[in-house]
Structure 1
């Protein structure tokens, strides 16, 4: 047995043959040089036989389409299952014919894709329950500032099915799947934010967390109150990875965690901000949820179309292409609007960082002068305001060490003037003096 004769990435097709269609089906398989086994069927008068034949992944869709075009309707049973290995010289030739190493040849068939998208979406009650549990666990992890708990909430989130189902439904012209997936996504966002808010209110009212907890002081929360453009990369990457994983028949579990990472934690932060009575603070997190959700859908739609998925009925191809273009344009436009918003947050963060660096340079420059050689900078800190998501410097705290019994009253005025010239708005400059004794 040579390595070339042993083939993987195989599907085994089991096809029931309706009465009068046996010769037609076998002729198609013979023309394509496909090995098959036929067994007589005696359990039903509608079917005369069952045909079993192995196919490489890339051949499943065109072969099934040709069989269906020959008059085999959807009432006939067609089962496609994984096959670990096929040992056949003829099968290797068939694989060489259909596989050319690109994305299209590695993908599963349209029929399998549709089934996979359906399977990834749980029933409505299960979806709601798992979303609530995921949001509650995420909220607890966020309030505890525990990355491990937040990651755990992503694992149980049932979001990958609806997030990818809308794209699948669009490209294969399955409007029922599209509508169901969009409905699930909208409902999931609302349920996640609502569950997080209710749980956070309960936690706060019972004093499980300190009543004076400042959200901006919690690392897992603050980073999602003012998201930046890097969030788009996460969402787009999750969407592309999700579609590639489902389209190639590989595991989608880890990709589901990535998609949940883009949606569940920011939804939890939005709920926490609402529970703390800070609706403006929830704006950034809510925008992050929406832009991530739309980006996942946009990336999924583009990737599926690029991979070559098209509707089963070729007569509806033009209509589907038009629908895909409109939805891509609509999603891209909305994502662009949100990207501008995130860009504004990113620019505000950049300005704040620039101000902090410039202010620190000014302090170090002043203290480097000969008359202040006995003084040293012990700590420099910029305190931001709480006007999320566009935060600005509010206070600058400069801690200076100097010799005991000596002071430089003019130093505070000089530092205040030098620091304030770099601020776009009034900033309070607080100078703290600490006596340093060197032994």
Structure 2
């Protein structure tokens, strides 16, 4: 459950009360400030039921009004809310609940910024992944994926695309590209210094491009988007996204550092293919969950952007899969042509 507190000029009392009633709250109450020029309401709502109230508040007040809306999580409340729903209510609740748009943006923005912590975690996860791949140690590779901070910028890019937010999209794209580049560069330097175990099965498996890897990346992206919109913990699905991105990126750098350009190219194509799959599935989930901007014109622009993005990702998926499959099975022709 959520508590939404709104503080606003007292002249907006009736409009605020109407917006609260439309939100179907569990409970709410109003308090006036001592000078009676401002007042505040505290509204208790079920999870996934606060977006209409937040939108209404933004429509009611102007930027000049001294108002503030705050969302707070509720761990428990008594008495328990056990309201029997009518058939109409049940039909209305068939649509899946989702976290509030502003809460999604706030959560994603933190993980989409290129900070010192992000860079350090990326370097550490790349080092651990390289060791795990080289030693053919699955547990170490999994450990690398646990600390890899790749989920934030990927989700940030998809969410900003769904909302039509260019600034957030650029920030997330810069962080994602920087993260992949930093990880790749770190492993490449290690491959130049230390010998690479080209017989490692963990390393070799990152050069196999088949329908299973597409299914894994699509499932990872969908799980990440669902965890975000459902307000669930994203730590485990963060590992899933890292499964699709970190090991093949590290494998590509290791192969390139050891002079094996064919397998380096195959693993690099796998990274790009997985990125496209994750972005495509997250976009589809955001569309299904109805994540969109508040204003009508922004909704129209975002809808066009989503259609273009989904089409582009789908075409890239097919093209990259065909290219990767050909390189992995006919790489000798590529080597004989260019080397």
Aligned pairs (5 A) from 1:67-106: 67-71=57-61, 73=63, 76-87=67-78, 92=83, 97=89, 100=92, 102=94, 104-106=95-97
1:141 to 129, 132, 135: 132
Aligned pairs (5 A) from 1:204-223: 204=195, 215=198, 217-223=199-205
Structure with the larger strand share:
1
CA contact (8 A) 2:32 2:40 kept: yes
CA contact (8 A) 1:18 1:72 kept: no
Q: Unaligned 5+ residue runs, structure 2?
A: none
2:169 to 169, 172, 178: 178
CA separation of 1:63/1:186 partners in 2, compared to 1, >3 Å: closer, same or farther?
Answer: same
The answer to whether the aligner puts 1:59 opposite 2:41 as a matched pair is no
Measure how far apart 1:124 and its partner are: 2.4
Q: Unaligned 5+ residue runs, structure 1?
A: 1-9, 205-212, 350-385, 391-439
Cross-structure match for 1:20:
11
CA separation of 1:89/1:264 partners in 2, compared to 1, >3 Å: closer, same or farther?
Answer: closer
Structure with the larger helix share:
2
TM-score, reference length from structure 1: 0.69
Query: How many residues are paired up?
Result: 332
SS of 2:71 mapped into structure 1: strand
Distance 2:176 2:12 in 1: 43
2:315 to 318, 323, 333: 333
Greater Rg over alpha carbons, structure? 1
CA contact (8 A) 2:164 2:301 kept: no
TM-score, reference length from structure 2: 0.88
State the Cα RMSD in Å. Answer: 2.8
CA contact (8 A) 2:114 2:175 kept: no
CA contact (8 A) 1:57 1:105 kept: no
Distance 2:67 2:36 in 1: 9
CA offsets per residue over residues 280-319 of structure 1, 9 Å max, x none? 2201110111111111111101110111111111122211
Cross-structure match for 1:411:
none
Cross-structure match for 2:106:
115
Cross-structure match for 2:214:
232
Distance 1:131 1:389 in 2: 32
CA contact (8 A) 1:167 1:300 kept: yes
Cross-structure match for 2:263:
281
The answer to whether the aligner puts 1:243 opposite 2:243 as a matched pair is no
SS of 1:21 mapped into structure 2: helix
Distance 2:320 2:251 in 1: 18
Distance 1:80 1:123 in 2: 26
Distance 1:325 1:133 in 2: 37
Identify the structure with bigger relative contact order (alpha carbons < 8 Å, sequence gap 6+).
Answer: 2
